Homo-oligomer: A and B are copies of this chain.
Amino acid sequence: VATISDVAALAGVSTATVSRALNGKSTVDPVLAAKVREAAVELGYHPNGLARNLRRQETAVLALIISDVENPFFTAIARGVEDIAQTAGYSVVLCNSDENAEKERRYIDVALQERVAGVVLSPTGTSTNVDILRDRGTPVVAVDRPLVEVPGDQVLVDTRRAAREATEHLIQGGYRRIGCLTGPSGVRTADDRLAGYRDALRSAGTEPGDELFRRAEFRAATAREAVRELLDETDPPDALLVANSTMAIGVLEELAARRLRPGRDIGIVAFDDAPWTRLVDPPLTVVTQPAYEIGTVAAKLLLARIGGSADGPSSTMLEARLIPRASSRRDA
List the B residue with the shortest CB-CB distance to A252: B279
Q: Is the CB of B107 within 8 A of A82?
A: no
Option from B44, B49, B82 in Cβ contact (under 8 Å) with A132? B44
Contact assessment for A253 and B280 in the assembled complex, using a CB-CB cutoff below 8 Å = no
Using a Cβ–Cβ cut-off of 8 Å, how many residues does chain A contribute to the interface with B?
52
A176 at the interface (CB under 8 A from B): no
Given the known interface contacts A50-B54, A76-B70, the answer about A256 and B279 at a Cβ–Cβ threshold of 8 Å is yes
CB of A101 within 8 Å of the partner chain:
no
**Cross-interface CB contact of A113 among B49, B82, B110, B115, cutoff 8 Å:** B49
Interface of A is mostly: helix
With beta carbons under 8 angstroms apart, the residue of B44, B48, B94 that contacts A135 is B44
Asked if A36 is at the interface (CB within 8 A of a chain B CB), the reply is: no
Query: Once bound together, how far apart are the Cα atoms of A61 and B256, in whole Å?
Result: 43
Q: Determine whether A69 belongs to the interface, using a CB cutoff of 8 Å to chain B.
A: yes
Pick from B53, B106, B281: contact of A280, CB under 8 Å: B281
Encode contact with B along A35-46: 1 for CB under 8 Å, 0 otherwise. Answer: 000000000101
Nearest B-chain residue to A68, judged by Cβ = B75
Q: Is A109 an interface residue (CB 8 A)?
A: yes
Inter-chain contact B54/A51, CB cutoff 8 Å = yes
Q: Please tell me if A10 contacts chain B, counting CB pairs below 8 Å.
A: no
The answer, yes or no, to whether A112 is at the interface (CB within 8 Å) is yes
A284 to chain B, nearest CB (A): 9
- A50 vs B49: C-alpha distance when bound (angstroms): 9
Interface residues of A in 78-97 (CB under 8 A from B): 78-79, 82, 91-96
Task: Select the stretch in A209-217, A270-278, A313-321 that faces chain B.
Answer: A270-278
- Which residues on the B side are within 8 Å of A50 (C-beta)? 50, 53-54, 59, 114-115
Contacts of A278 in B (CB 8 A): 253, 256
Q: Is A310 at the interface (CB under 8 A from chain B)?
A: no
- The one of B44, B113, B246, B275 in contact with A46, judged by C-beta atoms closer than 8 angstroms, is B113
Would A47 and B113 be within 8 Å (CB), given that A76-B70, A276-B249, A276-B276 are in contact?
A: yes
The reply to whether A249 and B275 contact each other, CB–CB distance below 8 Å, is yes
Min C-beta distance of A261 to chain B, whole Å = 10
Taking A46-B113, A92-B95 as given, write out 19 further A-B residue pairs in contact, using a Cβ cutoff of 8 Å, ordered by the A residue number: A1-B136, A44-B135, A46-B109, A48-B54, A48-B113, A49-B115, A50-B53, A50-B54, A50-B115, A69-B75, A70-B75, A82-B96, A91-B106, A246-B275, A253-B279, A274-B276, A276-B276, A276-B279, A280-B280
Contacts A/B (CB < 8 Å), 27 sampled:
A1-B136, A1-B137, A44-B132, A44-B135, A46-B113, A48-B54, A48-B113, A49-B115, A50-B54, A69-B69, A69-B75, A70-B72, A70-B79, A75-B75, A91-B107, A94-B94, A94-B95, A94-B96, A220-B275, A249-B276, A252-B279, A253-B279, A256-B278, A274-B276, A276-B279, A279-B279, A281-B281
5 A-B pairs closest in CB distance: A49-B113, A276-B276, A94-B94, A281-B281, A93-B93
